Amino acid sequence: MASIKIWEVPKSSRAPEGYKYSLVYMDSGKIRLLGFDNAEGKGHHRHDRDHETTFRFSTPEDLVHLFWLEVQRLRGIS
């Protein structure tokens, strides 16, 4: 199951590009396997299960593309 939320917000130090987002891929038990978000104070980061790393945000379109590529990788689809 996947959830994609991207909304436009006023540009600020917390959202310099003018976007807030949350993209999540969960298993059937609703356990997060993959996530991308820019939660307050954390900046752009991704979750691989329980591991969190930063990543470079470019555009909402590129983010959605990256998200689906990673979902395919997790599902074993090339």
Close Cβ partners of 3 (under 8 Å, ≥ 6 residues apart): 22, 23, 24, 26
| pLDDT at 24 exceeding the cut of 90 | yes
CB distance 21 to 67 below 8 Å: no
CA separation for the pair 35, 22 (Å, rounded):
7
User: What does DSSP assign to residue 77?
Assistant: -
User: Would the pTM of this model clear 0.85, i.e. be above it?
Assistant: yes
Q: What is the pLDDT of residue 78?
A: 61
Mean model confidence pLDDT for the chain: 94
